[in-house]
Structure 1
Amino acid sequence: MHQHSLDISVDADLCIGNAMCRQAASRTFVTDEHGQSVVGEPPLDGREQILHAVSACPVAAIVVRDAETGEELFE
């Protein structure tokens, strides 16, 4: 599975902007004007890096799903 078959989202209500996801997958997650993480287009990191970013988020603000099946993925 390539990263392009992943549906990635960041819940702005949960994100505290600590940048752990950006450290783990800096070519996928970028900072918005409020200092929170958002998904850049297109997400350029590999699946493993993206899933590491999910696990690094201290507030579980990132959701990654298989774009074909809708299944939520975890590291």
Structure 2
Amino acid sequence: MTPAESIPMSQLPRGGRAVVVSVDAAASDAVRLKSLGLCAGRSVEVMRASDPLIVRVLGSRIGVASHLAAAVLVAAVPVVPAA
């Protein structure tokens, strides 16, 4: 995954799924996000697309302020319709 193929987590719609590519935040914010489970390689799902963004990560729901969600770059995972 290249940075050109990633988008800010804040742009994911409700129900959107993605994998974290990188976190481009100030050191203290990056440490806090990592402690919540938001780090490279982690899968996330958007539960509510507003401010704060509510995402499911590691089986928990967490709220992330929009300015921090914009610093988390993700690769969207396409949703496969049920057969």
Q: TM-score, normalised by structure 2?
A: 0.33
Larger strand share, 1 or 2? 2
Larger radius of gyration: 2
